[in-house]
Amino acid sequence: MLTPATLKIYNASAGSGKTFFLVKNYLYILFKSVHNDEFKRVLALTFTNKASEEMRRRILQCIKEFSNQKVSEEYRSLFSHFEKDLKLTKYQLSKRAKKILSAILHDFSSFSISTIDKFTYRTILSFFYKKNIDLEMDTNRVLLKIIDNLLLRLTNSETWSNVLVQFTLEKLKEGKNWDIRNELFKIASLIVEENSFFPIKKIKMYSFHDLILLKKTLLNRTKKFEKKCKKQGKKFFEFLKKTSIQKHSFFHSDLPRFFKKLCQGDLFINPFNKRLEKFIHMGILYCKWIDIDQKTLISKNRDKILLLYQETKSLYKKDISSYLLDKLFLKNFSVLSIIHEIEKELHSLKEERKILLNAELNKILYERIIQEPFPHIYEKMGIQYKHYFIDEFQDTSFLQWHNIRILVENALSENGSAMIVGDPKQSIYRWRGGDPKQFLNLISYSSKSYHKQVFTIETNFRSYEEIVKFNNSLYQSVSKIFHSSIYQNIYKNSKQKILKKPGGYVELNFLCVEKNNYKQYVYLHIKNRIKKLLKQKYKLSNIAILVRSNEEGNFLSEKLIRDGFIVNTSVSLLIKNHLEIEIIISFFYVLIKPHCYQKRAYLILLLLQNKLICTRKKNHDFLMEIIFLPLNIFLKKIFFQKKSFDLNNLYRQSIYDLAEQVIQSLGFFNNNQSSYYNKTSSIYSFLDFIHRTMKSVGNSIIDFLESWEFKKKKESIIVSDNIDAIRIMTIHQSKGLQFPVVLLPFTDWNACSSSRKKKEGSWINVPPHLYHGLNALYLEIEASFQKIDDNYIKNFYEDYLSNIRFDNLNLLYVATTRSVEQLFIFSKYENDKSVSFYIKNFLREKKLWNKKKFQYSFGEEKNFSLK
């Protein structure tokens, strides 16, 4: 158990019972204390709402069980453990539990189990309490608004108009998207992104004039280098002319080609090829088949030619790193030049609306904290909390840990305690600041402020034997692929012990099919597998389908629903994709635009095509007959309950009531279809959206539709967990969950690519004396970086790729460790750039790979759910 003044760090792999472990140690503190309200001095921080709710539920359930005279079998062993460890009788422990439970229920607000984000927000509110500040979760919406405001303002400025036009022309010249709005949004995103906090903070210290001076410096420096290189090139060709040596006389013309590149300013990609370097080193300059006179001329001038080459090489190598960085930076210079203007607009909008952006909370708290040794805002918390629990530490950002560490170290210095739990293999949130190296550094480095103990939880409590064995073997194999010893050791040391009974089943399917038919082919396999699982007496709710993207989830959801399966998905089953919702929205548009006949036509066609209007006439004839009628008559023609759709009554009703009338009139709740459950779920979810939106925008249909258009791509169907339905979710959402059966239908995401649609960029450290004091530059990542023969940029690119590979492998790890009983993986046979390469390589190592074999299995396929 926890020892005072000791930071305990637990490296806990998937399925190791981490939540139970945290609960157990949390309870130990409560029962050990003589105070019934010791829970007020404990702060537990998790990464997601679901995780904090689960921890809170388990703690309360356990205390409740302990308070009973008869403890149920599930909690009996834990009860006995506390009984022995605390040297209490059953009666004393039960009585103690009753008092603790009563204390929690009487002061539930002090029962502090929260997400890190909520904790940060609560802390920040303590110094904004007089300003009545609201939290804005939708950062993108705010950023789009400030871009619109900014463009309106800047286009009226002669200086900035020129800057924007020049920027657009540069993008066109590079063959990139010239849409200035998208580029400004990308820059605005950088400003609020936590990963860019420190570089942006430095850049904000520079005025627009300072940045223009920096740009001039870089342009002058690059031109000077190019001029030097061109001079060397010209010198070579002048020398050839003077000595009458012909270009084709040189071996494969490599040397003239090299100097020609210098003359043309073609310096970005390394002009030195391996063959040229090899023969220069050997002193071989000319071809054997050239005439004797040319051989004599080259031999006579060999030393001068080699000296010129070595002199050029030395000049190139000396300044190429700086030149390449300058050129790359100049391509992204717009990122700097307009930061101040975006920052001004953002500040103005936040002041006007009295909001804080959720994305900026950690930065706001960090800025306040660094102003004093032990911040005033933490004085109350420093006194209140003595024990800290931090879950999913591998997903915390640098700023999050910095902001919390002060409290943890203060508690440890005052004889408190702290426990940190994490698993670098499950770090899948780098894009929002999470860095697994932070967890590894915490393990590695000692502190003068407190003692530290590091433990590894080795046992897998979740999965059956064959699944644990498969994952152990797979990730031991994968560890060899990494060049980075840090990443290599993370997976090399990941082997788990098996606790569950023997059994379990893993099936690998490599599908050989044309690209255009691949998704449909995968779906057929998934559908057949689900049918087979149902015959094995599994319930639909026992089955989880994990996908990489919402698009994949949406495709499978729609297909399964169409084939009569009940689906529970929180990401891909969007409300907007359902006919019923489309009809209601079209009806709203007709109400606010009564003379827009295009809107009327669209509504009529929706109803006709789905047989929701009965008419003997042809669709076109019916449409032309009613489309131009007065609105009240038009509505009576398409909706059957004439009284309900009296125009005078409609405009007096709430948006919610209007939606209900359309639903009732068209009989949307008639359960004569196989997809009845999913249909009603979409309707209820939409009504819930209306209810929520009316609270913020009132009863204005125009304002409601504006909100709908902005949010419709995110609003998903709300499905009860109590329904027997197939679960479809992204791998990110599955983290921390487990399922009897897991299907991974598209195990084909690129191992070396991020899933984020926008072009990736990163900050590279640079020598400040070369960049007017700036110590980091923003570069867009390009594949051409791998062709650059400069160690600094090459290492930067390799580090970037290594991080991406690790993140994508972590996604595979999270996905393959969710299943309890059976795991099914589907991927393309021929795709060796995807994460499925790791699985194929593992099969090769085990000498199981056969080019003619498309399915591999581990364990026996049988019905584990019946055990």
- Choosing from 290, 323, 353, the residue where a domain stops is 353
Domain membership of residue 716 (yes or no) is no
Helix axes 579-592, 655-665, angle to 10 degrees: 120
Interacting residues of 598 by C-beta distance below 8 A, sequence separation 6+:
none
SS3 856: strand
For 557, the domain range is: 505-572+724-753+810-866
Domain membership of residue 763 (yes or no) is no
- Residues 410 and 525 both lie in one domain: no
Q: Give the highest mean pLDDT range of 301-305, 322-326, 443-447.
A: 322-326
**What is each CA distance from 858 to 186, 529, 838, in whole angstroms?**
46, 17, 17
Interacting residues of 429 by C-beta distance below 8 A, sequence separation 6+:
395, 732
- In tens, the pLDDT along 477-495 reads 999 888 778 888 889 888 9
pLDDT at 172: 63
Q: The tokens 């009132």 sit on which residue?
A: 698
What is the Cα–Cα distance from 293 to 196, expressed in whole angstroms? Answer: 63
Domain membership of residue 798 (yes or no) is no
Beta bridge partners of 45: 114, 390
CB atoms within 10 A of CB 109: 6
- Residues 256 and 327 both lie in one domain: yes
- Choosing from 678, 711, 744, the residue where a domain stops is 711
- Residues 319 and 333 both lie in one domain: yes
Domain membership of residue 468 (yes or no) is no
Residue 125, pLDDT > 50, answer yes
> Of the candidates 249, 257, 320, 260, which has an alpha carbon nearest to the alpha carbon of residue 288?
249
Pairing of strands 42-46, 113-115: parallel
Domain membership of residue 805 (yes or no) is no
The two structure tokens encoding residue 372: 């004093």
**What is each CA distance from 710 to 141, 233, 576, in whole angstroms?**
8, 57, 12
Residue 728, pLDDT > 90, answer yes
- Residues 740 and 850 both lie in one domain: yes
Q: The tokens 């210290």 sit on which residue?
A: 205
CATH, residue 50: 3.40.50.300
- Residues 316 and 168 both lie in one domain: yes
Position 106, amino acid: H
What confidence tier does 605 reach under pLDDT thresholds 50, 70, 90?
confident
CB atoms within 10 A of CB 342: 21
Domain membership of residue 489 (yes or no) is no
Burial (CB count <10 Å: 0-12, 13-18, 19+), residue 289: exposed
**What is each CA distance from 130 to 136, 348, 354, 357, in whole angstroms?**
18, 19, 11, 18
- Residues 603 and 738 both lie in one domain: no
The two structure tokens encoding residue 693: 């939106």
Q: Give the highest mean pLDDT range of 562-571, 681-690, 835-844.
A: 835-844
If one counts the domains in the chain, the total is: 4
What confidence tier does 674 reach under pLDDT thresholds 50, 70, 90?
very low
Sort residue 859 into left (φ over 0), alpha (ψ -120 to 50) or beta: left
- In tens, the pLDDT along 410-468 reads 889 888 999 999 999 999 988 878 888 888 888 888 777 778 899 999 899 999 999 99
- Residues 181 and 239 both lie in one domain: yes
Q: What DSSP string describes 151-206?
A: HHHHTT-HHHHHHHHHHHHHHHHTTS---HHHHHHHHHHHHH-GGGHHHHHHHTTS
Pairing of strands 134-136, 543-547: unpaired
Answer yes or no: are the C-beta atoms of 846 and 461 closer than 8 Å.
no
What confidence tier does 219 reach under pLDDT thresholds 50, 70, 90?
very high
> Of the candidates 99, 79, 98, which has an alpha carbon nearest to the alpha carbon of residue 89?
79
Domain membership of residue 781 (yes or no) is no
- In tens, the pLDDT along 61-87 reads 999 999 987 888 888 889 999 999 999
pLDDT at 2: 47
- Residues 35 and 63 both lie in one domain: yes
Average pLDDT over residues 280-299: 78
SS3 656: helix
Cα 636 to chain centroid, rounded: 49
Rg (the chain; Cα; Å): 33
Domain membership of residue 776 (yes or no) is no
Beta bridge partners of 308: none
- Choosing from 680, 711, 742, the residue where a domain stops is 711
- In tens, the pLDDT along 615-640 reads 777 877 888 888 888 888 888 887 75
Q: The tokens 């827009």 sit on which residue?
A: 596
- Residues 212 and 311 both lie in one domain: yes
Q: For residue 739, what is the enclosing H or E element?
A: strand 739-744
Own/partner contacts of 57-64, CB < 8 Å, gap of 24 or more, are 58/19, 58/20, 58/23, 59/23, 59/26, 59/27, 59/113, 60/101, 60/104, 62/23, 62/27, 63/27, 63/30, 63/97, 63/100, 63/101, 63/104, 64/97, 64/101
- Residues 30 and 84 both lie in one domain: yes
- Residues 231 and 339 both lie in one domain: yes
Helix axes 791-816, 465-478, angle to 10 degrees: 170
SS3 36: coil
What is the Cα–Cα distance from 119 to 45, expressed in whole angstroms? Answer: 8
- Residues 604 and 679 both lie in one domain: yes
